[in-house]
Each structure stands twice: as structure tokens, then as C-alpha cells.
A = this chain, B = another copy of it.
Amino acid sequence: MAAPIDFYFDFSSPYGYLASTRIDELAARHGREVVWRPFLLGAVFKQTGTGPLVDVPIKGDYARHDMPRAARRLGVPFVLPEPFPFLALAPSRAYWWAFDRDRAEARRLARALYEAAFAEGRSLADPETVADVAAGLGFDRDALTAALADPEVKARLKAETDTAIDRGVFGSPFVIVDGEPFWGHDRLDDVAWWLAGAKEGEARDVA
């Protein structure tokens, strides 16, 4: 089987959530697996001198309109958590802690966390919310809560974020396929095109 696809995202990213609802199925159609790689977008913004999309004048208003519309086109629920954006430290640490024990369980946790945020509107900044979601899936609540403050888990997330920056990741979602970078949930069709062999002119038939 060909190398897995790296799916970079921030748990506070609405477009990351939208991409998360498609990426596994899309990759599977092309015989690929996906490694979900949450990181902290805030650390990346320091590199590019940019900031959260919704805070940009005019563009931010557009984004608030575009997000639910894009969700509608995908047929998935969408609501913006309050407050937004939130700092995604707790869910990201929880994910990497779970990932190093059982990758499939970590994926299940990531999905549930994204749904809590963008289908139910719950901010994931609060470690209690993250623990609630994890406990609901059968995770050991005390072990997870302890992991959120564990220096090794903290270092794990920091290393993942540093690697993301080193690989040129500057937004969420961001997909890397065999070294080829794709930024944005609206690039998933390009990812599929790439996986299928990148035939010239293919997109002329799309719409």
C-alpha cells in the first residue's frame, strides 16, 4: 500500500472540521490511509504574520457566511462554537496521548471532538469538555485529564506543531500527499485528482 496521507488540522478550524468529514473516504477510494495530525495554528500564524480568518475585516464576515454554506453543500451539520476561535490545546494533547496508545481510538476521539465543536457548538478550550467527550467514548477520564498536564504529552504536541511548520504547513486543513502540499478544504478535489494521477484538464468536466 502507498504511503499514508498526512492530514494537518487545528481543532478550532471550521474548514478543518469540514475536511475531516470527507478525507478518510476520499483517501480510501484511492487505496490510501490518512494520519490525522492536529497542531496549533496559532504557532503557525507567528511564522506567516497572519491571524484567524474570522478576525480579518470584511473577509471574516464572508467566512462566517461561507462556512455553513459549505457545510450544507457537504450535507453535514454546522454551528460556530462560542467563543470562537478557541485555543485547541486540550483536544490536541488528548489526541496525541490517545494516538500513542491506539490510533483507531484516537481517530474516533478526534471525530467526536470535532462534532462536539462544530455540530454541537461546544468550545474545546475547556479541558472538562474534552474529558466529557472522551469519557462518553469510554476513555478513562482520570487518565486523560492527567495526560493533558503531562510534560511528555505537551512536548509531543509541540514537536508535531514544529514538524508541521518545518513541512510548510501554514493553515488548516492542510494535506500532504507524497510530499505534495494542498491547503484548504476546497482543495480536497485537487487531492483526489492528484491521487488519481493528476490528469491534465480533468477539472473542466467538474461543473
Contacts and interface: CB of A to CB of B under 8 A. Distances in A.
Interface of A: 22, 26, 29, 47-50, 56-59, 61-62, 65-66, 69-70, 72-75, 168, 170-171, 181, 183-184, 186-193, 198, 200-204, 206-207
B183 A186 contact: no
Contacts of A206: 189, 192, 206
Contact of A56 (B48, B74, B188): B48
Given A62-B170, A70-B190, A74-B203, 7 more contacts: A48-B57, A48-B59, A49-B57, A72-B200, A73-B203, A75-B204, A188-B207
Contacts of A184: 186
A135 to B, nearest CB: 31
Contacts of A65: 181
A186 B47 CA distance: 25
B73 A207 contact: no
A73 B183 contact: no
Contacts of A50: 56, 59
Could you say how many copies of this chain the assembly holds?
2
B204 A22 contact: yes
Contact of A49 (B47, B56, B75, B201): B56
Contacts of A49: 56-57
Contacts of A26: 207
A90 to B, nearest CB: 27
B189 A207 contact: yes
A198 B168 CA distance: 35
A187 B186 contact: yes
Contacts of A170: 58-59, 62
A58 B168 CA distance: 7
A22 B206 CA distance: 10
A69 B202 CA distance: 12
Nearest to A59: B170
